[in-house]
Structure 1
């Protein structure tokens, strides 16, 4: 095993007669890649989080519950107990009137066997179209944080991978240069003076 000696931090920026120009270029490339990685990840993550939170908050303000009525009996047997999951529900056709007075119909999940005219609460947007129930504030924070984290990681991956690829290319270039130099001076080492 070769002895490496103590690790010297920031050796590529220190004065050293053995330091090559390629070492300094590689150091600056990697520093730039790390800075871009950090900035891209943080900025993209924060922007995505803010955008998702804003969109979900707007949904909570704009989307409203409306009482709709079944237009035909719901399929399935009537149950005396309240449905506890979407698996206990069937699709039923409903009719409602939006806040602007327009009439709408659509299909929503209802209890099996519900009678015609049974009230069903549905959520609608400003135009009266069916939407899902908006996320609560805590659900919105969690969703925005997860999406922001994924967006930040994805954005940070681009400069990180680019920096690694550029470093590998610099390394190949350096090795090719060393091979050329070795081919030129290697045979001279075998000669003796005398």
Structure 2
């Protein structure tokens, strides 16, 4: 087990006769990697957050509600027969008019027990395809912030991972140098004692 003394902060930057060239290179690599990670992380996070929030705002503007009709009766208890309004929903086939005048059909969540022809409100995009209900502005902000944060962390990890790889390479170089120095010292020692 190697002896480790107290940790000295910024030792690679201080004057020291034992400091090697690789120590100075490593210090600059770490400083550059942290600075680049901060810059790249903030820029990537902000860009992704703005992009996601813009896309969600565009969806709120473009997506519309359309009245669709059930194409077949939905099995289950009738909502009129049960006393309390049910929040339970099941998937069923519905049909709605597309913007071009053609009929479209697809699956939507409806109340169980609804008869065929029951009107159902669905959300569609510009082409008339079924979509989910768009997010509210506050939900969009949260989603954009979370996505931006994840993108920023991921982008910041790239320079840090590169620095870690370079540090490993520098450490292997230092160990190889130590081995060469010890081999040279060992040869000198054997000549003097042998």
| TM-score under structure 1 length normalisation | 0.86
The answer (yes or no) to whether the contact 1:26–1:170 under 8 Å persists in 2 is yes
Deviation (angstroms), 1:60: 0.6
State the partner residue of 1:141: 141
Deviation (angstroms), 1:16: 3.8
| Pair 1:83 & 2:121 matched | no
What is the rounded CA distance, in whole Å, between the counterparts of 1:43 and 1:183 in structure 2? 49
Q: Which runs of 5+ in 1 are unaligned?
A: none
After superposition, the Cα gap between the structure-2 partners of 1:72 and 1:27, relative to the gap in structure 1 and judged at 3 Å, is same
State the partner residue of 2:186: 186
State the partner residue of 2:121: 121
Aligned length: 188
Instruction: Give secondary structure in 2 for the equivalent of 1:165.
Output: helix
State the partner residue of 2:8: 7
What is the rounded CA distance, in whole Å, between the counterparts of 2:106 and 2:172 in structure 1? 63
The answer (yes or no) to whether the contact 1:69–1:96 under 8 Å persists in 2 is yes
State the partner residue of 2:25: 25
State the Cα deviation string for residues 121-164 of structure 1 (Å, max 9, x = none). Answer: 10000111100000111111111111111111112222211211
Q: Which runs of 5+ in 2 are unaligned?
A: none
| TM-score under structure 2 length normalisation | 0.86
Matches within 5 A, 1:40-189: 40-79=40-79, 80=82, 81-84=84-87, 88-189=88-189
Deviation (angstroms), 1:5: 5.7
What is the rounded CA distance, in whole Å, between the counterparts of 1:138 and 1:173 in structure 2? 53
What is the rounded CA distance, in whole Å, between the counterparts of 2:23 and 2:73 in structure 1? 78
